[in-house]
């Protein structure tokens, strides 16, 4: 009774509108509901930290914290409202906790990367007070390790505990262990876990495939994918995404087409479409991109902002900038990625002025640009030739937008200065950068020196490029072109000799064409194509037609000399 009076007077429970009106929550002004039912009603009404404190006090003064079911619901409410910091102490001081309560708390804490150590602490405390870990607690606590690879040693300890408790062959535990090791780059350890499992379900297969894909080992990922006894949409999406992120867009599209033709009836979801659209954008495959757009509309897939952003990116990179703009204008909700994607698309399609106008519209809506937006803006200035405007954006971006320039921003402004002939300013800026210039920046300076016939800068740029990418034949070719443009033929020839002596070969030209949903790649000087003779014969016929029209662009006669009939 004394505790109740003190709590009412000092903590201020009873005067609170949340509790004062408790008896009215059920529409009966004269009768209170049972105490546990009242508490559940309170939890549903909680929305602020003050409400949480009052509800907690209401629970404590009535000893409701001895009821693990109610305490578990309280922890779930804390997690749902974002008060995860409160979870730890609510469970740590629980008078009679069970493993179910601890699992709820560990799961809530592990979802917050900054609270990973608290999740692990509760996991350890459960064992100290005599609770046995189960097939839920181990996956929950391992998700904390996934969010912080600095805790991988703790992850190994948890793995050992799972083995000792005989839980390591549980599929849920196995999946979590595979994901934990894979997320920290330990794919070989993840594979050991996978190989030692007694039973494999599709989630376990997907986890190890995702681990290889994240590590860039698409050969191993594809091999496991082929061996899967059953695949779901996650399996297909993981492979497509892995190829797309690894710049193997042809392979990504090929797997996507296999998925659509698969007899098992697996249909792509929004994530699969995002991966496929990314590959289409990289290849400029407008036809497939349009088909995907139509499929999304016809099958009423959830048209999320991310999916629409991917469509805008695909249309822009495929050269259909008008459709990109139309889709953009039709969107009712746009985020910073939406605006940045279109601004970048306009700039890369040579519409620098329109890109800058779009950026002005973006600022008018109140959406704050990010670092990617500013890269697109600087690129637009470069394409439009707005040197002073680009310099202004670059030098005021930290003060105006709170964005500190990174190496990509420096690369854009150096490229802008180089294109405009301000080679000295561009080179000086590359020396003043707070980080070391990369190959892209030195490549921009080398290209600018060729355009301005500045052999001195070209030599300096090539000297640095030889350190960061010594086997790039294009750098030697650019320097040779600079010497040739200045009539310094001996030096032009010498650069080619140096290139030959150190074993650098010029990369052959590459092209691709899609015929009947299949992509064909062609390399210059490649004689391995089985239809080589027919291809060259067709080219000769085209050349003859061009000769008759007096528009000959190339003579392919010498190419047939190397073809055996």
CA distance 308 to 152: 37
Provide the whole-model pTM: 0.72
Q: What is the pLDDT of residue 498?
A: 58
Res. 515 pLDDT band, cuts 50 70 90:
low
Among 271, 306, 333, where does a domain finish?
Answer: 333
Q: Kindly state whether residue 54 falls inside one of the protein's structural domains.
A: no
Q: What is the pLDDT of residue 52?
A: 77
Q: What is the mean pLDDT of residues 325-354?
A: 92
> Closest Cα to residue 390, out of 338, 432, 429, 448?
429
Residue corresponding to tokens 């802008």: 416
Q: What is the pLDDT of residue 6?
A: 33
User: pLDDT, tens digit, for every residue of 147-200?
Assistant: 778 888 989 999 999 998 888 889 999 999 999 999 988 999 999 999 999 888
Asked whether the predicted pLDDT for residue 16 surpasses 60, the reply is no
Structure tokens at 196: 């030692």
CA distance 272 to 253: 11
| Residue 392 · residue 381 · CB < 8 Å | no
Q: Is 464 in a helix, a strand, or coil?
A: helix
What percent of the chain lies above the pLDDT cut of 90? 28
Q: What is the pLDDT of residue 32?
A: 43
The CATH code of the domain that includes 241 is 1.25.40
CA distance 349 to 344: 9
User: pLDDT, tens digit, for every residue of 453-471?
Assistant: 777 777 677 777 677 666 5
Q: Kindly state whether residue 156 falls inside one of the protein's structural domains.
A: no
Q: Which helix (H) or strand (E) holds 253?
A: helix 249-261
Q: What is the pLDDT of residue 67?
A: 80
Q: Out of 17-26, 132-141, 168-177, which region has the weakest mean confidence (pLDDT)?
A: 17-26
Q: Which residues of 520-557 are buried (b: 16+ CB within 10 A; e: fewer)?
A: eeeeeeeeeeeebeeebeeeeeebeeeeeeeeeeeeee
* Backbone conformation region of residue 306, classed left if phi is above 0, alpha if psi is from -120 to 50, else beta: alpha
Q: What is the mean pLDDT of residues 48-61?
A: 80
CA distance 425 to 260: 53
CA distance 57 to 553: 86
Please state, rounded to an integer, the average pLDDT across all residues of the chain: 79
Q: Kindly state whether residue 354 falls inside one of the protein's structural domains.
A: no
CA distance 105 to 122: 8
CA distance 220 to 208: 10
Structural domain span for residue 557: 526-565
User: pLDDT, tens digit, for every residue of 193-246?
Assistant: 999 998 889 999 999 999 999 999 999 999 999 999 999 999 999 999 999 988
Cα Dmax for the chain = 109
Q: Kindly state whether residue 258 falls inside one of the protein's structural domains.
A: yes
Res. 433 pLDDT band, cuts 50 70 90:
confident
Res. 434 pLDDT band, cuts 50 70 90:
confident
Q: Which residues contact 44 (CB under 8 A, 6 or more apart)?
A: none
Angle between helices 85-92 and 116-128 (to 10 degrees): 10
Q: What is the pLDDT of residue 474?
A: 61
Q: Kindly state whether residue 565 falls inside one of the protein's structural domains.
A: yes
Q: Is 431 in a helix, a strand, or coil?
A: helix
| Residue 144 · residue 119 · CB < 8 Å | yes
- More confident: 508 or 166: 166
Q: Could you say which DSSP state residue 11 is in?
A: I
Q: Kindly state whether residue 492 falls inside one of the protein's structural domains.
A: no
Q: Kindly state whether residue 273 falls inside one of the protein's structural domains.
A: yes
Among 333, 349, 382, where does a domain finish?
Answer: 333
| Residue 180 · residue 172 · CB < 8 Å | no
Number of domains, the chain: 2
Burial class (CB in 10 A: 0-12, 13-18, 19+), 424: exposed
Residue 518 phi, psi (nearest 5): -130, 135
Burial class (CB in 10 A: 0-12, 13-18, 19+), 229: exposed
Q: Is 462 in a helix, a strand, or coil?
A: helix
Terminal-to-terminal C-alpha distance of the chain: 105
| Residue 162 · residue 187 · CB < 8 Å | no
Q: Is the dihedral of CA 456, 405, 400, 413 positive or negative?
A: positive
Residue 14 phi, psi (nearest 5): -65, -40
Q: Which helix (H) or strand (E) holds 428?
A: helix 423-432
Among 333, 368, 392, where does a domain finish?
Answer: 333
Q: Which residues contact 424 (CB under 8 A, 6 or more apart)?
A: none
Q: What is the mean pLDDT of residues 349-375?
A: 92
CA distance 299 to 161: 47
- More confident: 36 or 338: 338
Q: Kindly state whether residue 486 falls inside one of the protein's structural domains.
A: no
What percent of the chain lies above the pLDDT cut of 70? 77
| Residue 457 · residue 445 · CB < 8 Å | yes
Asked whether the predicted pLDDT for residue 548 surpasses 70, the reply is no
| Residue 133 · residue 105 · CB < 8 Å | no
Q: What is the mean pLDDT of residues 299-316?
A: 88
Q: Which helix (H) or strand (E) holds 132?
A: none
Taking CA atoms, 8 is separated from 13, 36, 320, 525, in Å, by 5, 19, 68, 88
């Amino acid at each position: 009774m004394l505790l109740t009076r003190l709590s009412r007077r000092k903590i201020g429970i009873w005067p609170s509108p949340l509790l004062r009106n408790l008896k009215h929550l059920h529409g009966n002004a004269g009768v209170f509901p049972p105490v546990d039912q009242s508490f559940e009603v309170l939890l549903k009404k909680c929305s602020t930290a003050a409400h949480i404190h009052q509800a907690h006090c209401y629970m404590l003064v009535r000893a409701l914290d001895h009821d693990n079911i109610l305490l578990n619901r309280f922890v779930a409410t804390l997690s749902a409202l974002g008060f995860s910091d409160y979870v730890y102490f609510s469970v740590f001081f629980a008078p009679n906790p069970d493993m179910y309560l601890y699992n709820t708390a560990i799961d809530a804490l592990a979802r917050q990367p900054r609270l990973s150590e608290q999740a692990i602490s509760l996991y350890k405390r459960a064992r100290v007070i005599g609770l046995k870990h189960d097939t839920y607690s181990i996956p929950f606590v391992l998700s904390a390790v996934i969010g912080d690879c600095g805790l991988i040693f703790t992850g190994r300890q948890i793995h050992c505990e799972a083995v000792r408790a005989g839980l390591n062959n549980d599929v849920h535990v196995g999946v979590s262990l595979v994901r934990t090791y894979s997320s920290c780059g330990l794919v070989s350890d993840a594979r050991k876990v996978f190989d030692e499992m007694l039973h494999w379900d599709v989630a376990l297969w997907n986890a190890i495939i995702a681990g290889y894909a994240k590590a860039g080992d698409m050969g191993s990922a594809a091999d496991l994918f082929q061996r899967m006894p059953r695949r779901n949409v996650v399996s297909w999406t993981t492979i497509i995404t892995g190829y797309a992120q690894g710049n193997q867009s042809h392979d990504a599209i090929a797997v996507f087409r296999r998925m659509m033709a698969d007899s098992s009836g697996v249909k792509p979801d929004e994530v699969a479409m995002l991966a496929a659209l990314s590959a289409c954008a990289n290849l400029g495959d407008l036809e497939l991109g349009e088909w995907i757009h139509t499929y999304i509309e016809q099958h009423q897939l959830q048209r999320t902002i991310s999916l629409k952003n991917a469509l805008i990116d695909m249309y822009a990179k495929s050269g259909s900038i008008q459709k990109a703009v139309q889709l953009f204008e039709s969107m009712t909700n746009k985020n910073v990625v939406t605006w940045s994607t279109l601004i970048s698309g306009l700039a890369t399609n040579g519409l620098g002025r329109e890109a800058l106008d779009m950026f002005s519209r973006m600022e008018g809506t109140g959406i704050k640009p990010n670092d990617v937006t500013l890269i697109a803006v600087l690129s637009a200035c470069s394409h439009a030739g707005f040197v002073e405007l680009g310099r202004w954006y670059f030098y005021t971006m930290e003060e105006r937008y709170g964005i500190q320039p990174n190496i990509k921003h420096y690369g854009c402004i150096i490229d802008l200065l180089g294109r405009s002939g301000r080679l000295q300013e561009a080179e000086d800026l590359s020396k003043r950068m707070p980080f070391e210039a990369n190959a892209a920046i030195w490549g921009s300076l080398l290209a600018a020196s060729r355009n301005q016939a500045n052999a001195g800068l070209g030599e300096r740029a090539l000297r640095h490029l030889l350190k960061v990418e010594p086997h790039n034949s294009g750098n030697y070719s650019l320097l040779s072109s600079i010497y040739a443009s200045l009539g310094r033929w001996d030096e032009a020839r010498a650069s080619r000799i140096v290139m030959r002596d150190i074993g650098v070969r010029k990369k052959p030209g590459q092209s691709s064409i899609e015929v009947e949903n299949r992509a064909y790649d062609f390399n210059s000087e490649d004689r391995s194509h089985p239809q080589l003779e027919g291809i060259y014969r067709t080219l000769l016929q085209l050349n003859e037609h061009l000769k008759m029209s007096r528009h000959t662009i190339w003579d392919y006669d010498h190419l047939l000399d190397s073809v055996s009939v």
